[in-house]
Structure 1
Amino acid sequence: MDAQSLSWILVVSFAIVVLLGPIAIPLLQRLKFGQAIRAEGPARHQQKSGTPTMGGMMILLSVVFTALRFSSSPTTDLLIFAMVGFGIIGLLDDGIKVLRHRNLGLTARQKLVLQVLVVVLFYLFLYFRGWHFELYIPGFNTALQLGPFYLIFLAFFMIGTANAVNITDGLDGLAAGTTAIAFAAFAAMAWWESQWNISVFAMATVGALLGFLVYNRHPAKVFMGDTGSLALGGGLAAVAVLTRSEIWLALIGGIFVIEALSVIIQVISFQSFGRRVFKMSPLHHHFELIGWSEWRVVTTFWLVGLALSIAALYFYVR
């Protein structure tokens, strides 16, 4: 598969979301599927209250259609399962928020149980395909044989990635842009290794996200909601697993790692010492509160994510 074919896949996926926008966004508005903004967030975010959410469904529809159209295979099916599985959990969470008109959906325990269920099913699919449960270590040309412990690793890895992307989804275009960059890096890595099915799926996701940015860039006309952010995180983790690039995700998805760590650090610091390290977590809110405009925060995070992905690709192909 050449670069021109991947470009065509990106264009098709992009066009589907762009064409869905004028249909889906007014429909979400009529159904009153508006975002409830948490009171603890920056005050200027309150003006976003009521913006249609659950726009992640447009991304999912585009990715599923494009991936199956251009690369129907067991690998593609497994990637779609991971993305849609986590997306359904997000859809339930968003649905409860909308129906109850508040920023609280599924409980943390309910989310965790459902996410573990998706991971276990993903693991079983790998098991029955004869997957070697090992963790490749870049730079050392070796792999750790995890055996039955791989399920534990997989649970932490996939659930951690999904929720890190979810945490990052706090500003217009932030999660969409950073995940598009990460998926593009994995599309290149999969293409380099001739893993065509994975490359098609990743590039279809990039196209869908670029299409979504047409409506999600500041000021956003629609939010992806947990439907989109959890789906993207689950899909991203699945791509890393199937390309045996789990450790590379720490660099390619460095923005997600930093965002998640900022929340962990904030919680530990406040509970242990009664002091906050950041003005607000996740980190993107900290920069807002020190005076950065929302667009400046988003573009800066995009550039950092791009730099990390380029660095990862440079070291990967060496």
Structure 2
Amino acid sequence: MEQQVILFAIVMSFLITVLVSPIFIPFLRRLKFGQSIREEGPQSHQKKTGTPTMGGIMILLSVAVTTLVITGQFAETSVETYLLLFVMVGYGLLGFLDDFIKVVLKRNLGLTSLQKLIGQILIAVIFYFVFVQFEFSTAVSVPGTSISIELGFFYVLFLIFWLVGFSNAVNLTDGLDGLVSGTAAVAFGAFAILAWYQSQFEVSIFAVAVVGALLGFLVFNAHPAKVFMGDTGSLALGGAIATVAVLLKLEILLIIIGGVFVMETLSVIIQVISFKATGRRVFKMSPLHHHYELVGWSEWRVVVTFWTVGLLCSLLGIYLEVWI
């Protein structure tokens, strides 16, 4: 029965996204919610200017409706479900504000870095207080070992770093058609399997709802993209996957399963440090996916390669948790 519910959740989420998108995308276009492409990016991206953004709204809508309907009908809507939806919607609203400022107010940088950071931290802190109120564990386990480190009160600092870090990591990865849609779908799929393995049915439902929504979105987001998810989608997905890892007590494993997001973030950090210290750039451009574009790879080749790396990272993460 539970297997059928999981299958129903992913199909429902997929269909909602696929059916809503043909209505929502023209609506975004009529409102002139088109993406502005930064001039310092690859010149091949300039043709994407005007492509509707804020498509993450469709992902959030699909995931929220599917999760609430399925858990309400076939399971007990738990505090885990509400925590997952709170973080996803909270970071999604923050991303929506950023997108709105960019496309409507014509400020290409959106929210300032400080404004965005304050919002991300606030959501993480609220999550922490609810988390400890319901006596969830504040220990962190090392994958593939029996080592578990109790952080106690310092867990709030870890939680802030994790949610803020991964929401920004997914946001940095969102630079090519279908890149985040595919890599995030694979990563959430891995966590859905691990949630099932831990008998955390509600978390598994949420994770597969995200997978279904992303696959549905990919129909319209694959190259050449008809719509972008924007910060509305990428910040929400990053916060959500970090929350899933926290609720499953697989925080550190996220570094492996979300390996693509980690590599993209490290490429930016390395580039900045290298340029400030030596005046030289390690990569032709960061994040990493732009480097491969500038060495001559087609956009589709970069995306499929990163999807493949994401799949290998996810399989490694599952192996470490289930078989070691």
TM range (shorter): over 0.9
Count of residues in correspondence between the two structures: 318
**RMSD (Å) for aligned C-alpha atoms:** 0.8
Q: Secondary structure at the match of 1:151?
A: helix
Of residues 186, 193, 211, the one that matches 2:198 is 193
Matches within 5 A, 1:204-223: 204-223=209-228
Residue 67 of structure 1 aligns with an amino acid whose one-letter code is T
Query: 1-side partners of 2:302 and 2:107: how far apart?
Result: 26
How far did 1:102 drift? 4.0
Residue 186 of structure 1 aligns with an amino acid whose one-letter code is F
Residue 42 of structure 1 aligns with an amino acid whose one-letter code is P
Residue 70 of structure 2 aligns with an amino acid whose one-letter code is F
Matches within 5 A, 1:1-318: 2-71=2-71, 72-318=77-323
How far did 1:177 drift? 0.5
Residue 272 of structure 1 aligns with an amino acid whose one-letter code is A
Query: 2-side partners of 1:310 and 1:5: how far apart?
Result: 24
How far did 1:138 drift? 2.3
Residue 11 of structure 2 aligns with an amino acid whose one-letter code is V
How far did 1:130 drift? 1.3
Q: What stretches of structure 1 move > 6 A for 4+ residues in a row?
A: none
Query: 2-side partners of 1:267 and 1:109: how far apart?
Result: 18
Does the CA-based 8 Å contact 1:288-1:297 persist in structure 2?
A: yes
- Structure 1: gaps (5+ residues): none
Q: Secondary structure at the match of 2:203?
A: helix
Does the CA-based 8 Å contact 2:92-2:232 persist in structure 1?
A: yes
Query: 2-side partners of 1:314 and 1:117: how far apart?
Result: 34
How far did 1:107 drift? 0.2
Q: Deviations over 1:149-196 (max 9, x none)?
A: 000010111100000000000000001100000000000000011000
Does the CA-based 8 Å contact 2:5-2:70 persist in structure 1?
A: no
What TM-score, normalized by structure 1, do the two folds share?
0.99
Query: 1-side partners of 2:303 and 2:3: how far apart?
Result: 28
How far did 1:141 drift? 1.5
Percent identical across equivalent pairs? 60
How far did 1:23 drift? 0.8
Q: Deviations over 1:48-103 (max 9, x none)?
A: 00000000000000000000111122211110001011101000000000123242
Does the CA-based 8 Å contact 1:17-1:62 persist in structure 2?
A: yes
Residue 50 of structure 2 aligns with an amino acid whose one-letter code is G
Does the CA-based 8 Å contact 1:36-1:102 persist in structure 2?
A: no
Query: 2-side partners of 1:201 and 1:216: how far apart?
Result: 22
Query: 1-side partners of 2:115 and 2:281: how far apart?
Result: 29
Does the CA-based 8 Å contact 1:181-1:309 persist in structure 2?
A: yes
Query: 1-side partners of 2:251 and 2:283: how far apart?
Result: 29
Q: Secondary structure at the match of 2:252?
A: helix
Query: 2-side partners of 1:95 and 1:166: how far apart?
Result: 16
Does the CA-based 8 Å contact 2:270-2:282 persist in structure 1?
A: yes
Deviating more after overlay: 67-76 vs 57-66: 67-76
